[in-house]
Structure 1
Amino acid sequence: MSEPDEQIKDAAARRPRGWLRATIVGTLAFAFVGAGFGFIAFLSQLRGAEVKPARNADGIVVLTGGSSRVSDAMELLAGGYGKRLLISGVHPTNDVQDISRTLPDNHKLLKCCVDLDRSAINTRSNAAETRRWARERGFKSLIVVTSNYHMPRAIVELSHAMPDITLIPFAVVGDKWRDEPWWTSGGTFRLLLSEYAKYVAAEMRVRLADIGLDLTSDLAEQPAATPRRPATAQANKD
């Protein structure tokens, strides 16, 4: 075979590889840009300050896992924003007395109007247990209390589990969030990226489930109990 023929053959062999490489690079670039815009859209949903609910609801649910979530939910209950409060994701070894020690001013409310859910281990099981609680009580509206960065995913899961119940978000804003911009803190930035990834995964799972494709298994089994810790400490890992 002559040298020109070999060059033509080599060029023909390189063209498919070049096309494949360009396709992969273009797809990755498109995905990266899309993820960037999605992250910006996610950040735009996060409140920078706490705003009292515009209306009352039948009940209040607080998802454990962040500082001051439970105390803020108790304030809403004391203010008459709901009839009862569900604390979802309480550590299995904790009880009302543990919470009472951290919130001594709300002892009466804790005894009369607060229910504890020790089964939930993540946001999805929070939603399942909240649905059960709300239906048992006949509630048609709930104020949802959780951290601002967790609220988008919580609303996705709760709305999917309870499409017939009105959800009113109350986003808890931590001191660190108020004291310094999130982009100046490596820890906060990593937390937001992680939460954004979980939020996207929850959106995809819910959308697939809506068209009859539930690719996930049932809720994970609750892990074995660990040594006692404060009731307001993080029991819900997700």
Structure 2
Amino acid sequence: MNETINIDGSDDANPRPEHFHRFRGPLGFVRLVFDGTILLLVMLIIGFIVFANGLAREPKDPPHATDGITVLTGGVSRIDEAMKLMAQKRARRVLITGVNRETTLEQLKTLTPEGERYFDCCVDIDKAALNTIDNATQTARWVAENGYRSVIVVTSNYHMPRALAELERAMPGIVLVPYPVVDNNVEVARWWEFLGTTKLLLSEYLKYLPALGRLWATDLARVALPATSVPPADEPEP
């Protein structure tokens, strides 16, 4: 007796694997959302561990010389480290961005032994920036005004990834040299043993992800927009 081959698409012909059926119907949609949420949480946890373990544990050796230094305020030692780099002739000028509007120049000078030596000649102060995005905007403006092509970025080690993402988005093509400042009060080497450090790093990680997303979106937009869409400065638009 010849075997009959079923080609009418009925359930007994090449049935779908069981895992497809688990997502059918209202209950299947709930399962799909649940499984997707679990997967997202696992990815976030893995990403956070990679982020936390990738932070600098020790002070870096002074980088090579650049055109300028930008200091993102938030810790006294950041300004002092920038002045030390100036003393080593690592840059021409320093921008301290995000300074409190009530803080005076004389107060800033007291934060570092090199204050009197460099503040009057080689330091620019920005009091307009209120957050990291503003820091990047003000730094990009300062870099453009001075015609710089390379900048040392001075900020805390846990803040560095987000700072670099915002700076790269604000001024593509500029060489950014990270100089992370290690805060002895933030134990990043064993962050999981300290609840305060874990909370700080988790907060920074959750801020870093949107910054990274903005950078990727900006990069995609630059690739998508043809260079010819902007007419040369010396040629009038038709």
After TM superposition, the score normalised by the length of structure 2 is 0.79
Return 84-93 or 97-106, whichever deviates more: 97-106
| Map of 1:159 onto structure 2 | 168
| Map of 2:75 onto structure 1 | 66
**Displacement over 6 Å in runs of 4+:** none
- 1:203 to partner: Cα distance: 1.1
Task: Provide the alpha-carbon RMSD of the alignment.
Answer: 2.0
Q: Which of 132, 135, 142 does residue 123 from structure 1 map onto?
A: 132
| Map of 2:10 onto structure 1 | none
Q: Match of 2:185, SS?
A: helix
CA deviation map 1:123-150 (0-9, x unaligned)? 1110110011111111110000000000
Distance 1:178 1:154 in 2: 20
Identity level (%): 41
| Map of 1:138 onto structure 2 | 147
| Map of 1:111 onto structure 2 | 120
Q: Which of 173, 179, 184 does residue 193 from structure 2 map onto?
A: 184
Q: Which of 83, 94, 110 does residue 92 from structure 2 map onto?
A: 83
Distance 2:188 2:156 in 1: 15
- 1:25 to partner: Cα distance: 1.4
CA deviation map 1:42-100 (0-9, x unaligned)? 12431000112331101111100124111111111111111111001001122321111
CA deviation map 1:144-190 (0-9, x unaligned)? 00000000010000011111210000000001235972112111111
Q: Match of 1:102, SS?
A: coil
Q: Confirm whether residue 95 of structure 1 aligns to residue 96 of structure 2.
A: no
State whether residues 70 and 154 of structure 2, in contact with CA within 8 Å, keep that contact through their aligned partners in structure 1. yes
Distance 1:166 1:53 in 2: 16
| Map of 1:9 onto structure 2 | none
| Map of 1:201 onto structure 2 | 210
| Map of 2:31 onto structure 1 | 22
Cα–Cα, structure 1 residues 31 and 75, in superposed 2: closer, same or farther, change >3 Å?
A: same
Distance 1:54 1:143 in 2: 8
Q: Confirm whether residue 45 of structure 1 aligns to residue 44 of structure 2.
A: no
Q: When the two structures are aligned, how many residues end up with a matched partner?
A: 200
Distance 1:34 1:166 in 2: 31
Larger Rg: 2
State whether residues 67 and 174 of structure 1, in contact with CA within 8 Å, keep that contact through their aligned partners in structure 2. no
- 1:106 to partner: Cα distance: 2.7
Distance 2:77 2:180 in 1: 11
Q: Confirm whether residue 54 of structure 1 aligns to residue 63 of structure 2.
A: yes
Ranges in structure 1 where 5+ consecutive residues have no aligned partner:
1-14, 214-238
